[in-house]
């Protein structure tokens, strides 16, 4: 199938590469010259495990262009995967989605049928707005036009994006037209039936079952995306709230999570207590959902509380440092991990940024390490002059962090941190305090290595 994808961010590029791998004929459009230059050189502008090699493998089936006009007229299906960044009031800004829909409608051929699919995460009612925009453009052009519009929300996790695209739990399609549903069913056929040969880096999991394609109306599909993210966000906030009480009650939240997770109704995933969620999705989508609710005069206290608990986790780390070190003025704190989660260089809404800012505001000096996110973090922290440059240092040598440090804080659970030589780190420190913000280390081992160990929700 000939498909055009508008936007080459995490969602757009992953989708483009996967569909090219599945033998569709893919054209991806982006206006960002920097990204296009990289893509033309065969290099991925995003860091995502496996994407670079897959991009090289599917070069023959994919092309990148800044021009909608060049690729949309001949496409059968067009996917919109542009960003919907938050406005100041939390609302998701859909202007890029609307603009992309206009551009598509402007170049569609009047005698052909197209399926236009919105993959971006958008507030409820946006697909309806896209229908109206397309009709407005058609009437300006004086043509009838023949487009079916569908919502097909994306459930990819950064760091696991390709795995999730080849082996999804489900595919959700919201459409009022059978034609759109049929086209999407053909698009996803190799995934729905798992008829493709798995790429060597992404073998099919032994326990994997064929995914259902759920069809529904567009508003419900849009709501499914927000509800799924909000539910996962509040599951994490729930265990973090329990973790706080475990600290008071001398219980161990990792044991509690294990015990409740064994109940099939609860399930054991997304119950890792720690520094809570960051990234471009949960913070943005919970805020956007609250805006949608506010616009309808509806209160969502559970969603509000999930956010409050989440952002409190970041403050609690600084409080723990205060209570062990006394003042933070003149103290040196080492930060292990800057990315919002492992296997990505994405630092959007990362807990580390807030923690670094708070520590510097309290008079501490910060030394930070991350295997790949230093460049992005440096930009985010220095760009707005929010931090004093003399107080913030980055290092690519993780052991350098501990020299004369007063405490270490593990913020992102990178695999390499699991294997750190704790004894060596502790020996180099002024005071061997380890705040384990993701419960990565065994408290017994950390203590045996000489650390004063403080996890999240562990006695």
* 281 tagged catalytic: yes
Q: Which residue has the tokens 């650390």?
A: 451
The residue among 306 and 374 lying less far from ligand UGA, judged by its C-beta, is: 306
Identified binder of ligand UGA from the candidate list 166, 238, 282, 414, rule CB under 6 A: 282
DSSP 407: E
Q: In this complex, which beta carbon is closest to ligand UGA, that of residue 3 or of residue 234?
A: 234
* Smallest distance, ligand UGA to C-beta of residue 260, A: 13
Choose, by CB under 6 A, the member of 12, 50, 90, 278 that binds ligand UGA. Answer: 278
- Beta carbon of residue 165, minimum distance to ligand UGA (angstroms, whole number): 11
- Please tell me whether residue 121 binds ligand UGA under the rule CB under 6 A: yes
The dihedrals phi and psi of 320, each to the nearest 5 degrees, come to -65, -40
Burial 128-137 (b: 16+ CB within 10 A, else e): ebbbebbeeb
Which span (267-275, 293-301, 381-389, 450-458) binds ligand UGA, by CB under 6 A? 267-275
Q: What is the DSSP letter of 25?
A: E
Closer to ligand UGA by CB, 163 or 428: give it.
Answer: 163
Provide, rounded to whole angstroms, the least separation between the CB of residue 233 and ligand UGA.
Answer: 7
User: C-beta of 274: minimal distance to ligand UGA in Å?
Assistant: 5
Q: Are strands 171-175 and 147-151 parallel, antiparallel or unpaired?
A: antiparallel
Q: Can you tell me the distance from the alpha carbon of 452 to that of 406, in angstroms, rounded to the nearest whole number?
A: 11
Number of residues near ligand UGA (by CB under 6 A): 22
Burial pattern 372-384, b for ≥16 Cβ within 10 A else e, equals: bbbebbbebbeee
Contact string (CB under 6 A) for ligand UGA, positions 325-354, x = contact: ---------------xx-------------
CA atoms within 13 A on the CB side of 207: 1
Angle at 366 between CA 279 and CA 397, to 5 degrees: 85
The residues facing 395 across adjacent strands are 369
Which CB contacts under 8 angstroms, 24+ apart, belong to 156-160?
156/10, 156/11, 156/14, 158/10, 158/48, 158/279, 158/341, 158/343, 158/344, 158/346, 159/48, 159/49, 159/341, 159/342, 159/343, 159/344, 160/49, 160/343
* Least distance (Å) between residue 326 CB and ligand UGA: 29
Which is nearer to ligand UGA, 245 or 448 (by Cβ)?
A: 245
CB of 330 to ligand UGA, least distance (A): 31
Which member of 281, 306, 338, 398 binds ligand UGA (CB under 6 A)? Answer: 281
- Measured distance CA(7)–CA(281) in Å, rounded: 17
Measured from the CB of residue 349, what is the shortest distance to ligand UGA in angstroms?
Answer: 8
Q: Which 154-183 positions form the footprint of ligand UGA (CB under 6 A)?
A: 154-158
Write the binding mask 284 to 323 for ligand UGA: x where contact by CB under 6 A, - elsewhere.
-x--------------------------------------
Separation of alpha carbons 344 and 414, rounded Å: 10
Residue 404 CB, shortest distance to ligand UGA, in Å, is 29
The smaller minimum CB distance to ligand UGA, of residues 109 and 262, is found at: 262
What Å distances lie between residue 145 and 6, 115, 131, 262, CA to CA? 20, 12, 12, 53
236 contributes a contact to ligand UGA by CB under 6 A: yes
Locate tokens 């913030």: which residue? 392
Stretch that binds ligand UGA, among 89-97, 109-117, 174-182, 278-286 (CB under 6 A): 278-286
By residue count, the chain amounts to 459
272 scored as a contact of ligand UGA (CB under 6 A):
yes
Catalytic pick among 281, 374, 392, 435: 281
Nearer to ligand UGA, 440 or 454 (CB): 440
Binding mask 125-154 for ligand UGA (x = CB under 6 A): -----------------------------x
Q: For ligand UGA, what does the binding mask look like between residues 17 and 56, x meaning CB under 6 A?
A: ----------------------------------------
Q: Are 80 and 147 in contact (CB under 8 A)?
A: no
Planar angle of CA 423, 426, 431, nearest 5 degrees: 160
225: which 2 tokens?
A: 């995306």
Nearest residue to ligand UGA, by Cβ distance, number only: 281
- Say what the alpha-carbon torsion angle 353, 358, 360, 364 is, to the nearest 10 degrees: -120
Catalytic residues: 281
Query: Which residues make up the interface to ligand UGA (CB under 6 A)?
Result: 121, 154-158, 229, 232, 236, 270-272, 274, 276-279, 281-282, 285, 340-341
């Amino acid at each position: 199938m000939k498909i055009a994808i508008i936007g080459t961010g995490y969602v757009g590029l992953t989708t483009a590469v996967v569909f090219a791998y599945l033998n569709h004929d893919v054209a991806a459009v982006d206006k960002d010259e920097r990204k296009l230059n990289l893509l033309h050189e065969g290099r991925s502008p995003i860091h995502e495990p496996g994407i670079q090699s897959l991009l090289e493998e599917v070069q023959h089936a994919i092309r990148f262009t800044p021009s909608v006009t060049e690729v949309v007229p001949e496409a059968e299906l067009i996917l919109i995967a542009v960003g919907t960044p938050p406005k100041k009031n939390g609302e998701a800004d859909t202007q890029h989605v609307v603009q992309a829909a206009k551009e598509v409608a402007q170049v569609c051929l009047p005698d052909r049928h197209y399926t236009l699919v919105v993959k971006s995460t958008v507030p409820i009612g946006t697909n309806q707005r896209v229908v109206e925009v397309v009709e407005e453009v058609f009437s300006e052009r004086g043509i009838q036009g023949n487009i079916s519009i569908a919502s097909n929300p994306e459930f990819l996790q950064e760091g696991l994006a390709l795995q999730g695209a080849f082996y999804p739990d489900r595919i959700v399609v919201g459409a009022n037209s059978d034609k759109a549903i049929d086209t999407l069913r053909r698009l996803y056929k190799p995934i729905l039936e798992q008829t493709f040969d798995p790429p060597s880096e992404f073998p099919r999991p032994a326990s994997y079952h064929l995914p259902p394609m759920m069809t529904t109306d567009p508003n419900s599909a849009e709501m499914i995306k927000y509800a799924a993210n909000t539910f996962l966000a509040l599951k994490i906030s729930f265990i973090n709230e329990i973790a706080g009480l475990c600290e008071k009650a001398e219980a161990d939240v990792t044991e509690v999570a294990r015990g409740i997770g064994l109940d099939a109704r609860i399930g054991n995933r997304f119950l890792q207590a720690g520094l809570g969620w960051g990234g471009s999705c949960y913070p943005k989508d919970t805020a956007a959902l609250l805006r949608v609710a506010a616009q309808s005069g509806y209160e969502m206290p559970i969603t509000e509380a999930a956010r409050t608990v989440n952002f409190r986790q970041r403050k609690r780390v600084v409080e723990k440092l205060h209570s062990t070190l006394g003042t933070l003025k003149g103290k040196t704190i080492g930060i292990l991990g800057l990315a919002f989660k492992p296997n990505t260089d994405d630092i959007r809404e990362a807990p580390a940024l807030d923690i670094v800012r708070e520590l510097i505001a309290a008079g501490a000096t910060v030394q930070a390490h991350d295997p790949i996110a230093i460049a992005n973090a440096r930009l985010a922290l220095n760009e707005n002059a929010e931090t004093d440059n003399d107080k913030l240092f980055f290092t690519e040598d993780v052991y350098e962090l501990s020299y004369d440090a007063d405490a270490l804080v593990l913020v992102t659970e990178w695999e390499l941190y699991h294997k750190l030589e704790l004894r060596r780190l502790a020996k180099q420190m002024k005071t061997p305090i380890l705040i384990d913000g993701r419960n990565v280390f065994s408290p017994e081992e950390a203590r045996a290595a000489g650390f004063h160990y403080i996890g999240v929700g562990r006695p």
